[in-house]
Amino acid sequence: MESSEPVRLSCSVKNYDWGCQGGGSQVAKLASLNSGAGIDPQVPYAEFWMGTHDSGPSFLQQANGQNGAPEDLQGVTLKSWISKNPSVLGEEVLQKWGYDLPFLFKVLSIAKALSIQAHPDKELARKLHATHPNLYKDDNHKPEMALAITKFEALCGFVSAEELKEVLHHVPEIVELVGTADAEKYLSLNEEDETGKTKSILQSIFTQLMSAKKDQVFEVVSKLKNRLELQSQARELSDKEQLVLRLEKQYPADVGVISAFFLNYVKLNPGEALYLGANEPHAYLSGECIECMATSDNVVRAGLTPKHRDVQTLCSMLTYNQGSPEILRGFPLNPYIKRFVPPFDEFEIDSCFLPKELSTIFPAVPGPSIFVVTEGSGNVSFRSNLKGDPLNEGDVLFVPANTEISLMSGTGTDLRLYRAGVNSRLFKAQ
């Protein structure tokens, strides 16, 4: 029998090295409340995954077990449950993506920089998965969006031509690594030069930088560090220079330290979002965020990481577009809910803050949703359960297509939660 009621989920946690340690992590807190597991103060808690990806599946919960902790519903994954109840996806989603969720929802807690990376488009993802399935686990693209829940820092996309010329003028260590010929070619470009020529020279410079030998990188990063530390005694370093010194402490003698000069340094306030298309270089640096993406875990890395680096693939796949990324601030659906809509069909994010003793409604939509409660408590009700159920921090709900959800915050507490769903523009286009 197919189900149309919301179901509660037990979700996966990832303990990557860059995560926030122990109880200081939003991910640790959510994972503990969601599963009933304790928090190890010595372990980094990096990502909380909500969705159907095989690398971090979510499971259906049943009633509390003997010790009060929620138990998995006989180990049934959300993915397998959806395959047996496909109507929960809605007709349009089924037609476009088949028997699976098109998005993966996460919470990230970042203590130190993630790798300089990019995600492949669909065509490249298929090739990478076919040739290196142990490294690239699926054949899907991975556009993504990060919505800051604390102050959040990232490197994203290449800086403007004007800024890169300033870098080549004032950071001699880069010219030492890439050579004067390409540096001078780039410096001689003017606004009339065609985009293709500009991109070609930028690609050549960036590829030489990222492909430099380890001993050269060690020497040049050491020179850069010494120069900046010396200059800091005479002048205030720029934000980017201060960041470079911070990255050097986290990843000594790594080429990613120098490559930071090529990328936009973005600082988000809570409630601001950043989206990333395929083949765009980026690295999240610090802070906590809600993240949503197409259902994929494909990452091509080239710096700031102890993991496998695929420098040639990364340098050949990038778009080499230049300029500042767009910052999304969302638009209000009502006084309590804001929507963040990236230019990708697979997903959007709603942010809901409900002051105590108030109520709001998430109207029925033609696609599936996942809700996560990050703060406070309240009550959730829907068409077959008008009395409602308690809703608490750490709760995660899968909500089938065409299901209206009513929320009420508690008598003494505000309620904050986030919803991921299929991009509403997909349904408007039908």
The answer to whether the CB of 285 falls within 8 A of the CB of 236 is no
Between CA 343 and CA 396 the distance in angstroms is 26
DSSP string, 321-378: -BSPPPEE--EEEETTEEEE--S-TT-EEEEEEE-TT-EEEE---SS-EEEEEEEEEE
Between CA 395 and CA 418 the distance in angstroms is 11
Is 383 tagged catalytic?
Answer: no
The answer to the question of whether 282 is labelled as a binding residue is yes
The answer to the question of whether 53 is labelled as a binding residue is no
Three-state secondary structure call for residue 175: helix
Sign, CA torsion 34/418/406/7: negative
Three-state secondary structure call for residue 122: helix
Q: Which residues contact 44 (CB under 8 A, 6 or more apart)?
A: 15, 16, 17, 18, 19, 20, 21, 25, 111
The answer to the question of whether 170 is labelled as a binding residue is no
Sign, CA torsion 416/282/172/164: negative
Between CA 406 and CA 359 the distance in angstroms is 7
- The residue annotated as part of the active site, out of 8, 301, 309, 419, is 301
Between CA 347 and CA 93 the distance in angstroms is 11
Joined together, the tokens standing for residue 43 give: 């372990």
Joined together, the tokens standing for residue 376 give: 């406070």
Return the H-helix or E-strand segment holding 245. helix 239-250
> Minimal CA–CA distance to 346: which of 38, 25, 142, 103?
103
Q: Which residues are catalytic?
A: 301
Q: Per the annotation, where are the binding residues for Zn(2+)?
A: 117, 119, 144, 282
Q: Per the annotation, where are the binding residues?
A: 117, 119, 144, 282
